[in-house]
Amino acid sequence: MTLRSFGVGATWAVSLVAAYLAFVAIEHGPATLASISAVLPALAFDVGVTPLAAPFLALLAILGAAVGAWCLRCDRPVDAALIAGFVATMLLVLVARSVFAFVLAWEMMSLVSAFLVAANHGRRSVRRATFVYLAVAQSGALCILVALLLLANHASGATFSDIAKSAASIPAGTRTAVFLLALIGFGSKAGLLPLHFWLPRAHPVAPPGASALLSGAMLKVALYGLCVIAFELAAPAPAAWGIVLVVLGTISAIGGVLYALVDHDLKRLLAYHSVENVGIITIGIGVALLARSSGAMALAALALIAALFHAINHGLFKSLLFMGAGIVAKTQGTVDLERLGGLWGRLKWTAPFFLIGCAAIVALPPLNGFVSEWLTFQGLIGGFALSDPTTRLVLLGATAGLALTGGLAAACFVKVFGVAFLGRSRRPEKSHSSETEQERFDGATFAQAVLAACCVVFGLVPALAVVSLARVAAATLGAPMIAGVTASPLASLPVLPIALIALPAAGALACLVLAARLGLRRVPTWTCGSPVTPAAQYTATAFSKPLRMIFAFILQPEHRRLVESGPSPWFPARIVYHIESHDVIDEGARWLGALALRAARRSRALQSGSLRLYLAYAVAALVLVVALARR
Amino acid sequence: MIARSLLQLLVIIVLAPLLQGAMKLLRARLQGRPGSSALQPYRDLAKLCRKESILPDGVSPIAVAAPGIALGVALTFAGALPIAVPGIPPLGEIVALVLLLALSRFTLGLAALDSRSTFAGMAASREQTVASLVEPTLLLALLGAATLGRGTQLSSLLHLPFGLAGLLALGAFFLVILAETARVPIDNQETHYELTMIHEGLSLEFSGWQLAFVQAASYVRQLSFLLLAGLLLPGGTVWTVAAWAVVLAMAIAVVETLFAKMRLFEIPQLLASAFVLAAASIMLRLLGATL
């Protein structure tokens, strides 16, 4: 058995387990799978499923199946094996039911994914990205550990069920500290602004299958952690948490899409869109917390359904898009939008799948992104009826922000698909010779087909997912099946996507039929009489220019124009135009990083290399622990 | 009910080109030109349908199907308006319609970039820019009823108390209409200079029946937006809504005569003020109950 087939088989096996556990959690409610507390009560190792984990387990099952198929053809064999480990550790995080088990699984997940990020470690930028990723992941893990220990310290034991039992009596100060630590720990892993800076570096450099899982699944696992804290371990959450999450979510959504808009590296652009979508999911979680704290259980359920559904959907279409980008990188040798073009004819499988992914992420009906974004809007608007005026204004701002995000995302993906896949290739003609052969249908294409089919099916028949999610929401919010959930606006959901798309689909069909009947004459594009060249096409830089200028106060674009003069000053030999946008957060992160490195350099004095000194440290630590424990 | 909503759709389809012609005629008269007949758009559509359709070499099926999708979206929008019927529940939902309108822009934008023409690409870029700035305003201007807990169906806008909040929402929506129907000062439908085109530029590479589809979609959208504005105004019967739509159409012709087209980078300021109007309107309604 080769390493590759072992990796694929293991990935599929883990997916099957995840699917089974998701089914169990939804059908039979919470269940404990294993409970080992032999050594110390503090090191209790509990494993079980809860309804809240079920949607994430289901997502992991689908993505695991797809990425497994992807690994049959693409990525190195060792990556396939690492991916199996990555999926397994994510599964472990989702079923961990005690502090020890969760932190252990979480650290394993971070480490395995760091190996995947470092796959192409020959490049300096990759090593740098891995370092930044590990630094953020470890700082975040520390925050999570402290938050969980604070909770366990208050409760009678270190299992999640113990913590949840005494959650109601947590003092307000501890509760706030737990929330802030969890927000930093899980928020940085999920890529919420302003702790997103590692994400656009780390996700693009991993192999495509791993990028798909990093963006599609791991960010959701982080959001799952946030949900566990907010809805179970530190429940009931005060309204302020909801407001913080809605505000952070809105900022992440707008910030993510703006940076994506000006980025022309296809993979980095997709990574920025993950920041955007994590923001949208966070808005949903925030609204659910807000509604729950003011007793509007039906609204809380609606918002939680929206958040969970968007988490699943984003996992589906983002993995699909990362796989498409992987195929583009493999066949074209670049993911720079300015050097692509005309891929529609050459990637006959990837191109339509990528189009479905683009339409889904832009929330166009009748795809899955539309349904969950629509539900998020409904949650926000339903919140207008909450009694607190501040809450209402925050939700109003988030509604406007989400609408702006939608518009900007549409602009961004018109750019991506229009420039990269449509039109004509922007590369010199001679480099085309090797690509005349058509794309074949293989494991990689099958993986995309599965994900694209899920996007379409969850869009056209949202009830498939929403019915189960309603049960999850009801169980998580601690209410028996809530009557309001089945009332509006969920009531119109089964017919809405089909009703919206019926006439446009008929129109599209009519056009295709008319074109076949009447015939469409093909002529060269009219370019005012000048020769038709690929250079006449609008570029990605030009396409995003109006929005780049309008939002210059955030994006701070930096232009460099290099003119090589020719024989006459009026006819330069060559003009090089370079534009770069600086992520303002990056500057802050760099400053923090420099500070941390300086502190590390100072603390090097402790490391003398002398064995006796180390033994003295160990003894001192032991004495300190005993002294603290006896107090 | 189905029959009445189909009738509404049919009336909108039949009258949409007439409104376009009448607006053009009124604008010509206001500018001291004789103008062409109000029936000219019908003749144009009929002529386009008889002509051959051509497309650039090697374009994808997206460009072939885009006009049909645009027309389908416009017809769905027109059919969903709660005028002759109280609204078809799943369709007349505000957020869903706003998201649906993005579908037609998305496909037309892709078709424009597919056509390999600089001007079409430029138009797609500008259309997406304007649309993304308009979308928050469009949504907020229509959410007045939702603040009162009446839900997000378009029909909830009927019989909404008008007042200052209604006036502000109407002001915002009027600017949205100028942007969505490609009117001066944001866009100019009648320009012959590609560099200034936004919406017209998208259809530069379409011809024949395909162009007829795109233009019919624009006409239907225009009338639908005006009728939607009529729903925001007091009244609420079929005839008052139609009357308000005609009044607003005339107002647009006057605005087009009084103002010149703005420079592209001044448009965001206008749209920002539209957003402020919409936000102020909805904040008035949101806080009205508690203050």
Q: A–B: how many Cβ contacts below 8 A?
A: 272
Q: Between A510, A527, A547, which is nearest B68 by CB?
A: A510
Whether the predicted pLDDT of A254 surpasses 80: yes
Contact of A350 with A440, CB cutoff 8 Å: no
Q: Among A140-154, A205-219, A422-436, name the one with the lowest average pLDDT.
A: A422-436
pLDDT score at A433: 47
Q: Look at residue B148 in the predicted model and tell me its pLDDT.
A: 76
Residue of A nearest to B88 (CA): A499
| Cβ pair A45, A36 in contact under 8 A | yes
Q: Are A223 and A186 in contact (CB under 8 A)?
A: yes
Cα A15 from Cα A17, distance rounded (Å): 5
How many domains does chain B contain in total? 1
pLDDT in tens, A312-349: 999 999 999 999 999 999 888 889 888 888 899 888 89
pLDDT for the residue A197: 86
Residues paired with A522 in a beta bridge: B55
- Give the pLDDT confidence of A257-267 residue by residue, as tens digits: 999 998 889 99
Q: How far is B30 from chain A (nearest CA, A)?
A: 33
B113 near A422, Cβ under 8 Å? yes
Dmax (CA) of chain B: 63
* Among B12, B59, B110, the residue to mutate for chain A (most A Cβ within 10 A): B110
pLDDT category of residue A483 using cuts at 50, 70 and 90: low
Q: Kindly list the distances between the CA atom of residue A562 and the CA atoms of A277, A336, A539, A559, A576, in Å, as whole numbers in the listed order.
A: 37, 20, 18, 10, 5
**Distance, C-alpha B78 to centroid of its chain:** 11
pLDDT at position A528 over 90: no
Note if the bond before A366 is cis, omega within 30 degrees.
yes
Q: Is A512 on the interface with B (CB under 8 A)?
A: yes
Average pLDDT over residues A3-19: 91
- Across the range A121-146, mean pLDDT stands at 91
pLDDT computed for residue A589 by the predictor: 79
Interface list for B 272-291 with A (CB within 8 A): 275, 279, 282-283, 286-287, 290-291
Mean confidence (pLDDT) of chain A? 88
Q: Which of A405, A511, A544 to mutate to test the interface with B (most CBs of B within 10 A)?
A: A511
Task: Name the 3-class secondary structure at A575.
Answer: strand
Q: Is B96 in contact with A365 (Cβ distance < 8 A)?
A: yes
With respect to residue B291, please indicate whether it lies within any of the assigned structural domains.
no
What is the least distance, in Å, from the CA of B31 to any CA of chain A? 31
Write the pLDDT tens digit of every residue in A92-123.
Answer: 999 999 999 999 999 999 999 999 999 888 88
pLDDT tens for chain B, 291 residues: list them: 778 888 999 999 999 999 999 999 999 999 999 999 999 999 999 999 999 899 988 889 999 999 999 999 999 999 999 888 776 767 888 999 999 999 999 999 999 999 888 888 999 999 999 999 999 999 999 988 777 777 788 888 887 888 888 899 999 999 999 999 988 888 888 877 777 788 888 888 899 999 999 999 999 999 999 999 998 888 878 899 999 999 999 999 999 999 988 888 889 999 999 999 999 998 888 877 544
For residue A392, which residues of chain B lie inside 8 Å, CB to CB?
147, 286-287
Q: Assess if residue B44 is contained within a domain.
A: yes
- For A38, how many CA atoms within 13 A lie in the half-sphere containing its CB? 2
| Cβ neighbours of A410 in B, within 8 Å | 102, 105-106, 128, 131-132
Neighboring chain B residues of A404 at a CB cutoff of 8 Å: 132-133, 135-136
Instruction: Answer for the pair A381, A400: CB distance below 8 angstroms, yes or no.
Output: no
Q: Which residue from B185, B173, B179, B174 is spatially nearest to B258, judged by alpha carbons? A: B185
Half-sphere exposure of residue A115: CA atoms within 13 angstroms, side-chain side: 15
The verdict on A549 touching B (C-beta cutoff 8 Å) is yes
Closest Cβ–Cβ partner in B64, B95, B115 for A512:
B64
Q: Report whether pLDDT(A630) > 50.
A: yes
Q: Residues A470, A56: contact at Cβ < 8 Å?
A: no
Instruction: Please tell me which of the candidates B69, B121, B268 has its beta carbon nearest to residue A550.
Output: B268
A503 touches chain B (CB under 8 A): yes
Token couple for A17: 């387990």
pLDDT at A437: 59
Write down the pLDDT at residue A413: 95
Among B2, B114, B198, B287, the strongest candidate for a mutation testing the A interface, having the largest count of A CBs within 10 A, is: B114
Q: Which residues of A touch B59 (CB under 8 A)?
A: 422, 522
B60 touches chain A (CB under 8 A): yes
Chain B residue at shortest CA distance from A376: B95
How many percent of chain A have pLDDT more than 90?
51
| pLDDT the model gives residue A298 | 87
State which residues form the domain around B68. Answer: 2-286
A positions 347-376 inside 8 Å of B (CB) = 355, 359, 362-365, 370, 373-374
Smallest Cα–Cα separation from A382: which of A305, A310, A306, A302? A302
- Distance between alpha carbon A31 and the CA centroid of its chain, in Å? 28
> Which residues does chain A have within 8 Å of residue B65's beta carbon, measured at their own beta carbons?
507-509, 511-512
pLDDT score for B290: 46
Would you give the distance in Å from CA B284 to the centre of its chain?
A: 26
Whole-number Å distance between alpha carbons of B117 and B133: 25
Interchain contact, B68 vs A511, CB within 8 Å? yes
Contacts of B129 in chain A (CB under 8 A): 411, 546-547, 550
**Both tokens assigned to A220:** 């959701």
| End-to-end alpha carbon distance in chain A | 57
Amino acid at residue number A602: R
Q: Which residues of A touch B109 (CB under 8 A)?
A: 414, 418
Statement: residue A271 has pLDDT above 50 = yes
Q: What confidence score (pLDDT) does residue B291 get?
A: 46
Contacts of B128 in chain A (CB under 8 A): 407, 410-411, 414-415, 547
Q: Encode pLDDT of A572-629 as tens digits.
A: 888 888 887 777 777 777 888 888 889 888 888 887 778 888 899 999 999 999 988 8
Residue B102 in contact with partner chain A when CB distance is under 8 A: yes
Cβ-based contacts of B93 with chain A (< 8 Å): 489, 492, 496
